Amino acid sequence: MIRKKLFAFMICAILLTLNFSLNQRLSSNNSIFHPVPTNISPQVLKASSMGYQNLIATYLWFKTIAYFGKHTTNIDYDYLATLFHNIIALNPKFEPVYYMAASVFPWNTQSTKVSKPILLQAMIEFPNDWRWPYYRGFNSYWFEHDYQQAAHFFELSSYKPNAPGLVSSLAARMHAERGNIDTALGFLARLIQNKNDSNTHATLMRQYQQLKTEKQLQEIEGWLRTLPENQRNAQGITRLKRHGYFIPETLEDGGYIMFKDGALMSSHANKRFRVFIPVKRQGVVQDETTH
């Protein structure tokens, strides 16, 4: 009984120490006040928790939610990051932290600096969960504009149990956007071999056919570019055939060649196999070598 009371006293002391540290305030130039990050290291926090890591991690999570709800327009993300790292140090399986790092941080800061290491930690803690590499891949695509890295993480995600077909489609699109269609086809071929579920297999086969069709269309586009600009149309297709180029009557996806608003495409899909690019980024040249 005495031991239990002593433990309870120690836990209260730890929480009070945390509360004091977390509620210290700094004044910025515009007189907005924020708590300063706790100066208790995660190692000391864990060692002093006496087996109550999950309890203290939950307490810190409530502090995180309370702070985030109170400071909707002037959030100190360094402070939040410190809270996140302390929570993970205490309880690495605390999923809400990983979700918040995957979404709130990059969307609110337009940066993946904080979320990247946290999501990589999530991939270590939950190695069979497709969601964490998916989030990492999405953030690479949307915020870093790095299609190569996005393709890598989407691929990792697609091999996990219960990964939806969307993930493999995104991986293939990222490869295709970088001009690596053969790499994307190889990836889908391997995935098709590894997936036994009939519905997943059918979805992957459709993606494979779409990508093969995109490869055909790109090849034909290259041939059309050798012709005068005013002949890069159905007339040009006929001319290419007369000069011995092989133009299939039926594309890999079952459609036929058509032009829509001057663009070459398959009648089956009525659109090209492309990555969605937000309007504000359209027309911006992506220099992937800078990533």
277 occurs within a structural domain = no
Gap between the Cα atoms of 227 and 239, Å rounded: 9
| Coil vs helix vs strand at 188 | helix
3 occurs within a structural domain = yes
H-only helix segments in the chain: 2-22, 42-47, 53-70, 77-90, 95-109, 115-125, 131-142, 147-158, 165-177, 181-194, 198-224, 234-242
Range of the domain at 35: 1-127
77 occurs within a structural domain = yes
Tokens of 66: 């309370």
Residue 278: what pLDDT? 59
Q: How many structural domains does the chain have?
A: 1
Residue 147: what pLDDT? 92
Q: Encode burial over 93-131: b for 16+ CB neighbours within 10 A, e otherwise.
A: ebeebbebbbebbbeeeeebebbbebbebbbebbeebbb
159 occurs within a structural domain = no
Residue 49: what pLDDT? 63
Q: Are 25 and 33 in contact (CB under 8 A)?
A: yes
34 occurs within a structural domain = yes
Residue 62: what pLDDT? 92
H-only helix segments in 145-288: 147-158, 165-177, 181-194, 198-224, 234-242
0.85 cut: is pTM over it?
Answer: no
Residue 44: what pLDDT? 65
Backbone φ and ψ of 257, nearest 5°: -70, 135
| Closest C-alpha among 211, 205, 204 to residue 174 | 211
Residue 275: what pLDDT? 65
29 occurs within a structural domain = yes
Residue 141: what pLDDT? 92
Gap between the Cα atoms of 73 and 176, Å rounded: 39
Q: Which residue shows structure tokens 């993606």?
A: 207
| Closest C-alpha among 16, 28, 96 to residue 56 | 16
24 occurs within a structural domain = yes
201 occurs within a structural domain = no
Q: What is the mean pLDDT of each run of 10 residues along the chain (291 residues)?
A: 47 47 40 44 64 84 88 82 89 94 91 92 96 96 92 95 91 87 90 81 89 92 93 93 93 92 88 67 44 39
∠ Cα 280 261 205 (to 5°) = 80
| Closest C-alpha among 27, 22, 108 to residue 62 | 22
